[in-house]
Structure 1
Amino acid sequence: MHVHDDPNTDLDGARLAGELVAGSSDALAEMYRRWSTLVHTIAYRSLGDRHDAEDVTQQVFVSAWNGRHTLRPDAGSPAAWLVGITKHRVADVKMQRYRSHRNLHAVAAQSATEPSEQHDDWAEKLLLVSELERMGDPRAAVLRMAFMEDKPQDEIARTLDLPIGTVKSHVRRGLIELRRRLEEVEHVAP
């Protein structure tokens, strides 16, 4: 697929690229208007999740603004440059998914090999429950169902009447928040 076949469009793209490099936020807004659908479509087809595709689309245009100095107006269309950024952001999401999946399997494997140590440590369990309660719903409910009740994410989405992307987001962001809170407690503990 050729993003631009019309020479006038190529000239307009070069103009937009030059304006973006010069720091024009209007040029970024115009690029977003023209190519956000393309970016979103690529992200959605690669990731299969609308929420992740929306996140990637936003990240692509933030990256375009922050990295505008890398755009060379004479080296190709801004659309091709945005597609390149999109592919990098998609790869980042896939790597993050892989790491999350790997970490969950590692935790599950550890739980299976050391069940008595983990279940006997009531202080840690109480701390975890306390931190989940502080987090509030729906995120706490999603984490409780995912890790304490061992329910799959699609079942959680149906039970809580939430989109699957929202459930995945709550799991990802909730784990980050929980890890941060537990690290704070470890630093305070004698």
Structure 2
Amino acid sequence: MEGRFAGGGERALEDAYALHGGLVYTFCRRTVGESLAEDITQEVFIRAYRKHHQFKPERGTLAGWLIGIAKNLIVDHFRAEKRHALRRVGQEETEATLESQIEQAGEKLMIAEALRRLPERARCVIALRYFDDLTHHQIAERLNLPLGTVKSDLRRGLAQVRRQLESAHE
């Protein structure tokens, strides 16, 4: 799919939207709110369609590239809002803080997407370890799995998440 997207065409765009539209919309909704999320999501896919030749599958995932476009559009939106707000009330919010908040929201979504792609058992082990703060032994008992299996699932799952996140940042 990703290699086909780089070739362009309406069908490739439709497939990309079907596969990643929800992810992009969720990211936009969490950063700019529901009222602007649809507009920015639409603009993301319009830009992606126009600049499909800039997508390089060997440098990262299509989801990561689309989130990158969304981040840029959101930063542009907030910069414009900031200029207008400064004119109205004279308050200042640093661009670094704003970009950091947007970056954090994007990272959270990319992590969630990477976790979603894991096999269910690995996803469950990671969730119990890092979200529920259980020890390896507690996870093994809860899931009725050997301790070595829990450790292996955790190591392999985190490595897969890391690879997906690294490919999204290239």
TM-score (norm 1): 0.45
Larger Rg: 1 or 2? 1
TM-score (norm 2): 0.49
